[in-house]
A and B are shown apart, each in its own frame.
Chain A
Amino acid sequence: MDFFIDDYDVAVIGAGHAGCEAALASARLGCKTIIFSINLDAIANMPCNPSIGGTSKGHLVREIDALGGEMGKNTDKTFIQSKMLNTSKGPAVFSLRAQADRRRYQMEMKYTLEQQENLDINQAEISDITISENKVVSVRTARGGVYRVKAVVLATGTYLKGRIILGDVSYDGGPDGMFPATYLSRSLKEAGIELMRFKTGTPARINAKSIHFEEIEEQPGDKEITPFSFENEALEKEQIPCWLTYTNEKTHEIIKANLHRSPLYSGNIKGTGPRYCPSIEDKIVRFADKERHQIFIEPMGENTDEMYVQGMSSSLPEDVQYEVYHSIKGLEDAKIMRPAYAIEYDCINPTQLKLSLEHKTIEGMFFAGQINGSSGYEEAAAQGIIAGINAARKVLGKEPFILDRSEAYIGVLIDDLVTKGTNEPYRMMTSRAEYRLILRQDNADMRLTEKGYQLGLISRERYEKFLKKKANIEKEIERVKNTVLSPTEELNAILREKGATPVETGIHISDLLRRSEIKYDDLEPVDGNRPVLTRAEKEQVEVCMKYEGYIERQMHQIEQFKKLEKKLLPKDIDYNEISGLALEARQKLNKQKPESIGQASRISGVSPADISVLLVWLSMKKGK
């Protein structure tokens, strides 16, 4: 029997990385918020690898941090190894990644949620969402408890109708031994929401004491640690290494001999798996000529011997898994603690959403994370903070908060999902960002702190600190542009030492910085009026000067891009009535109802001529 429990502004369903950020953002914006999890011990769990960040994902974490989110801070508190990747490449693609202590990460996040004002936590499976007159009105737990709510954020991860598969064994289940969410899919279908079925997988965990570490390569962290959060200037930490080994011919033979038992090939798995996260059997089949594949062994934490075996995700039967793992150098005697498995789950077609992550026709219903067809903790958290902010703003009667493709990777991620949709779990990549040089991880605070402050998620203290940093950088850029260094022997000695051509006349510091060999710090001995700057400030000056031409070029492209983004399309347009649009464009536009001309231009099947027609039509409408 149903029973009423309480009223809330916002209910968040699911307490993974999306749910946590959504709940925190909503509560911090002053909304009475409740977050549900099937099991409170699964809050902020990492059911796959125990690591946060990496290429483009590290960018997302820093953006979340600049907006006042939690993922970066929580990682800084609980990491056991940190690495800046891609440092041999350009500054736009430097990427921070940390190995986290999984349990401590969960505990810290859970504690943060517990302490958060306006936020309640409840262990329950939500079975129904009640919608009345196209508006969310309440949620109901599987136990019959009813909460009246003004908005809901669905962040169900891989729990919706989760099904676990290991070879010929399969059963209903959520990730990492949790129960699945059995009922909610039906409620969503009844609300007219289009569902899809996706698949992902994870490798086995093995016991460290059974690994022959002397046979495999050690992978240490960076000597100088770069924190994720802009609130942390420096971090000290005794780091724990990761390890590297490889598959070999024998491994591949075992897999080939057992392919018929893999559900991916027998047809037992129907969901669409990601190309960038292939199972080991997938890799062997698709890249048959590759002699070996890398296997990274990552510790799951400080107080555990469980090790994650990256690169060995699989849905082969458990007996085959033993054989496969034992064929690998260093893992000959490996004891498997948790076997690899594949998981299938329900998600929604994300083109049903607005850029605010609210459903296009059901008011107050927001979606974030893997339910939107994405993959990855960071992608989930990024959507979570946006959905949480917008659910709260909806309740507070404010305009939605939207980041566009030129402002943040978060903008690229959400725009890609809701505009183009996806037919496999979507992973963020630097290649997806058009304005990569502007969207760097080092300047995420420059891009977004102001917005975070305006939203109400960044404290006054942090904001003022940010303004000071910004002013220091701007002032120093002005100075290096206007300061001429004399062609002294001292300067030329520095230039020669760095392999650069000496100068014969005076030269601006900015021009010297444009040379690839010269770093900002190199010129210190000959630059007497230099102010004292932090490492982060120097980095900004250096990057801004070194790549000024390219940066300007992208800024110019962004200006052009913004013009079309600002031309908004009313949502009640019937595109069938606009003469001159191609048939395909009419159908696509009517289905998706884009928010701006810019978004319309990214829908496949909408041509530049269609966009011209829309522009003319839009201005005719204004004239009337």
Chain B
Amino acid sequence: MKENTIAAIATAPGVGGIGIIRVSGEEAFSVVAKIFRPKDASFNLLAPKANIMKYGYIMDGETKIDEVMVSFFRAPHSYTTENVAEINCHGGIVILNRILSKVIEAGARIAEPGEFTKRAFLNGRIDLAQAESIIDLITSKTDLARQIAAKQLDGFLSSKLKEIKTDIYDVLIQIEAGIDYPEHEIEEVTREKLQSVLENAKNSLAQMYASFEQGRIIKEGVRTVILGKPNVGKSSLMNTLLKEERAIVTDIPGTTRDTIEEVVNLRGIPLRIVDTAGIRETTDKIEEIGVNKAKSEIAQADMIIAVFDISRDLTEEDYEIIELIKDKKSIVIVNKVDLEEQWNPKEIFKNQKILNLSAKNKIGLEDLEEEIESLWRNNDFSTGEDVILSNLRHKNLVYNALNEIDSALDALKLDLPVDLISINIKSLLDNLGEITGENVNDEVINGIFSRFCLGK
């Protein structure tokens, strides 16, 4: 257990308007400085003068991930009495996870259950009465986490990890046996062999790391955004797909002020359907939140269903939508085909498949379901042949393991002695071992004696 800088999503999971990622510890400011670009370029992220809130972007290299407000609390004037930065971002779990990943890559580690409160207490911030409940908190959250972890470990993750680890253990055991028994006839691990084992492991782990995205889709569903100008029939479409009245369906534009999310199982494909406020320039303050949010939802979407009204002329908003969905996996729906046709879809969407629908009269629904199915059919949602890293903690550990492999490969290139490289290899296995809960030293020593005939 390290007392370094920790981070976690501080807001309750679910669909809040705003989500908060809390970072606490000595390095909290320098971690955030690596990924936060404040609008106020003169602002010194490393040494904010007082407790202050700054507007800006969370960056992934040169790409903006989200528009955020970051609050800086200087030690000891914070919840934990350490340096704390709180990133206020858009509330979807996907964006929160994505930002948290960046925070971890920048040098924090995932907080243990109840760790912020624990630190607050250990640093004398919370009194005794409050502390009693912390223990309960830690145990209950840990039990939950344990159950979740146990479930995941049943499956592909642990067997795939085992496969990757076997080769690494083999070389480590051979190295260590050679070190502890220099006069026995133990074949030296060649640098070529070491390199190839490490590179293989790197490839497998990198694949695993990448599968995190797919893992998310399986866990959370295909993030589907229904897009269209106000009153185009988005909510009716959503209700039809959900087969129940959820969103308020009216014909007054702008009724759906915030996004609504629902998960539905459509022919075996989990869809997380997001209904957005209509894309529309508006002066209405409350609605503006909804509209901005819709734009950020588009960025996070796995699939967009764009809805157009055949009974009204196309407007600037429609053209804006056409522009927005250009590079996304999308389905174009021409709604209200039961009404009179005001424009010709074939002229507008020349190279795109168009589905005709009347959500109200349930015409064309079959076609829509078929289209969705064909788009996602190749993703196996039931089993998952590839390993799915759906737990951010696991993803973090795999990321650390990948870093250790890189260090080991660097050390190999520099021709450093093998017992130094074994430090990286051990650390790499320690990280993977944390996923499956094993003690690397014990494994190595057992391995040495079961594989080699040693001793006087």
Q: How far is the CA of A553 from the CA of B453 in the complex (A)?
A: 34
CB distance from B305 to the nearest CB of A (A): 44
A108 to B449 Cα, complex, angstroms: 36
Q: How many Å lie between the Cα of A613 and that of B134 in the bound state?
A: 9
| Chain A residue with the shortest CB-CB distance to B417 | A90
Set of chain B residues within 8 Å of A580, measured between Cβ atoms: 135-136, 138-139
Contacting residue for A432 out of B139, B441, B453, CB 8 A: B441
Interface size on B, residues (CB 8 A): 47
- Rounded to whole angstroms, the CA-CA distance of A554 and B427 in the bound complex is 11
Q: Cα distance A89–B179 when bound, in Å?
A: 8
Shortest distance between the CB of B149 and any CB in chain A (Å): 12
**In whole angstroms, what is the CA distance A89 to B420 when docked?**
9
Say yes or no for A397: interface residue by CB 8 A criterion.
Answer: no
Q: How far is the CB of A350 from chain B (nearest CB, A)?
A: 17
Known: A277-B456, A560-B3. A55 touches B179 (CB 8 A): yes
Tell me, yes or no, whether A398 is within 8 Å of chain B by CB.
no
Q: Which residues of A contact B4 (CB under 8 A)?
A: 560
* Interface hits, B180-213 → A, CB 8 Å: 180-185
Known pairs A431-B179, A616-B121; A276 contacts B455 (CB<8 A): yes
If A56-B180, A296-B183 touch, whether A287 touches B453 (CB-CB below 8 Å) is yes
Query: Which one, A91-99, A232-240, A447-455, is touching chain B?
Result: A91-99
Decide: A619 and B183 in contact? CB cutoff 8 A: no
**Of A89, A290, A607, which contacts B453 at CB under 8 A?**
A290
Number of A residues, CB within 8 Å of B: 61
A34 CA to B411 CA in the complex, in Å? Answer: 53
Task: Flag B101-125 by CB within 8 Å of A: 1 or 0 each.
Answer: 0000000000011110010011000
Per-residue CB contact flags for chain B residues 420-447 toward chain A (1 = under 8 Å, else 0) read 1001000000000000000001001100
Question: Which of B2, B121, B419 meets A92, CB within 8 Å?
Answer: B419
Q: Quote the shortest CB–CB distance from B217 to chain A (angstroms).
A: 31
* Contact indicator B445/A95 (Cβ below 8 Å): no
User: Which residues of the other chain, B, contact A293 by a CB distance below 8 angstroms?
Assistant: 453
CB-based contact B138/A609 at 8 Å: yes
- A201 CB to closest chain B CB, in angstroms? 10
Of residues 77 to 121 in B, which have CB atoms within 8 Å of A's CB atoms? Answer: 112-115, 118, 121
Measured between C-beta atoms, what is the minimum distance from A452 to chain B in Å?
27
Taking a contact as CB atoms under 8 Å apart, the answer to whether A431 and B176 are in contact is yes
Whether, in the assembled complex, B331 has its beta carbon less than 8 Å from a beta carbon of chain A, the answer is: no
Confirm or deny: A564 has a beta carbon within 8 angstroms of a beta carbon on chain B.
yes
Known A-B contacts A431-B445, A624-B128; the reply to A274 vs B455 at CB < 8 A is yes
The residue on A at minimum CB distance from B439 is A604
CB proximity to A under 8 Å, residues B4-29: 4
How far apart are A100's CB and chain B's nearest CB, in angstroms?
15
Residues in chain A near residue B184, CB distance under 8 A:
294
B residues near A554, Cβ cutoff 8 Å: 423
- Across the interface, name the chain A residue whose C-beta is closest to B172: A431
Decide if B179 touches A615 in the complex (CB within 8 Å): no
Q: Which of A401-454 contact B (CB under 8 A)?
A: 429-432, 434, 436-437
Min C-beta distance of B407 to chain A, whole Å: 9
Asked whether, in the complex, the Cβ of B416 is within 8 Å of the Cβ of A612, the reply is no
Q: Verify A547–B420 contact, CB threshold 8 A.
A: yes
Instruction: Tell me if B62 counts as interface (CB < 8 A to partner A).
Output: no
Docked pose: A310 CA to B118 CA in angstroms: 56
Partner of B135, one of A290, A608, A616: A616
With A93-B179, A296-B183 as given contacts, are A612 and B455 in contact (CB-CB < 8 Å)? Answer: no
Choose from B1, B449, B456 the contact partner of A611 (Cβ within 8 Å). Answer: B1
User: A503-531 interface mask toward B, CB cutoff 8 Å, 1 = contact, 0 = none?
Assistant: 00000000000011100000000000000
A48→B456 CA distance, assembly (Å): 9
Q: Does A536 sit within 8 A of B, measured CB to CB?
A: no
Check if A313 is an interface residue, CB within 8 A of chain B.
yes
Inter-chain contact B142/A609, CB cutoff 8 Å? yes
A284 to chain B, nearest CB (A): 9
- B41 on interface, CB distance cutoff 8 Å: no
Interface residues in A597-624 by Cβ distance below 8 A to B read 601, 607-609, 611-613, 615-617, 619-620, 623-624
Q: Pick from A91, A564, A616: contact of B134, CB below 8 A.
A: A616
User: Contacts A286-B453, A609-B142: A516 and B179 contacting too (C-beta < 8 A)?
Assistant: no
Q: Establish whether residues A430 and B179, one from each chain, have CB atoms under 8 Å apart when the complex forms.
A: yes
| C-alpha spacing A25/B3, complex, angstroms | 38
Using A580-B136, A580-B139, A623-B128 as known contacts, say yes or no to A310 and B456 having CB atoms under 8 A apart. yes
Cα-based distance from A322 to B151 in the complex (angstroms): 59
- Inside 8 A of A89's CB, which chain B residues have their CB? 178-179, 182, 417-419
* Interface residue? A563 (CB, 8 A): yes
Encode B124-136 as 1/0 by CB contact (under 8 A) with A.
0001100110111
Rounded to whole Å, the gap between the CB of A613 and the closest CB of chain B is 5
Decide if A278 is an interface residue (CB 8 Å cutoff): yes
Measured CB to CB, the closest approach of chain A to B26, in angstroms, equals 12
* A313/B136 in contact, CB under 8 A: no
A311 to B456, alpha carbons, bound, how many Å? Answer: 4
Interface residues in A130-144 (C-beta closer than 8 Å to B): none
Distance A607 CA – B439 CA, assembled complex (angstroms)? 12
Is B354 an interface residue when CB atoms closer than 8 A count as contact? no
A90-B419, A550-B423, A609-B138 given as contacts; is B118 within 8 A of A615 (CB)?
A: yes
- Chain A nearest CB from B283 CB (Å) reads 51
15 contacts between A and B (CB under 8 A): A55-B179, A85-B183, A89-B179, A90-B417, A203-B456, A274-B455, A278-B454, A430-B419, A432-B445, A434-B441, A517-B415, A547-B416, A554-B423, A601-B1, A612-B1
Residues of B within 8 A of A (CB): 1-4, 112-115, 118, 121-122, 127-128, 131-132, 134-136, 138-139, 142, 176, 178-185, 414-420, 423, 441, 444-445, 448-449, 453-456
Closest 3 CB pairs of A and B: A90-B417, A90-B419, A580-B135
